Amino acid sequence: MKLSGISILLLIVLALLILQSLGGVLQIKDYQRAVRRMHKLGNVGLGQKRGRFLNGHVAIIACNDEGIITGAEVMDGIGVLSRFHKKESFMGEPLVGNSIYTFLDKAAALDKKEWKRWQGYFRAFEALEVRLTDRELTREQEAFMETKRGKQGKKLR
């Protein structure tokens, strides 16, 4: 049996789709393991920055009840081959042992472009801040904050 050029092309496309699906499943499993690891270290905050091609990341940050960071893992890289790895420093400062409030203060001083570059981290810090202050936002407040964040590029509070 001889395959035509189109048949070979379709088989290649099918094989690539299957490989991408398998990579996605492995990435989800890696995410679940990373969240479990971080949860053992304390309160967990998650944040992501969607990238168009190369510059996206997912940050998982753990802290104690006083807001001191106890661990951080980040997934950045290209496509389904990227995995979570420990993150030791952020913006020139060590993460572990530092306060989330230190980084939130830095976020407030950044311009929109720089804030967007690191928004996954800052959203993780904000999630931890909300968790630590036991403050729950209504859906309307969350929608309002997301709208303002998109326009201003940083936190409102």
Q: Report the alpha-carbon distance of residue 26 to residue 90 in Å, rounded.
A: 27
Where does the pLDDT of residue 156 fall: very low under 50, low under 70, confident under 90, or very high at 90 and above?
very low
- Degrees, nearest 5: CA angle 86-88-93: 155
pTM here is 0.74
What would the pLDDT profile of 49-105 be if each residue is shown by its tens digit? Answer: 887 766 788 899 999 988 899 999 998 877 667 788 899 988 888 999 899 999 998
Q: Tens digits of per-residue pLDDT, 95-139?
A: 998 999 999 988 888 888 888 888 889 999 999 998 888 655 556
Pairing relationship of beta strands 89-90 and 93-94 according to DSSP bridges: antiparallel
The rounded distance, in Å, linking the Cα atoms of 149 and 151 is: 5
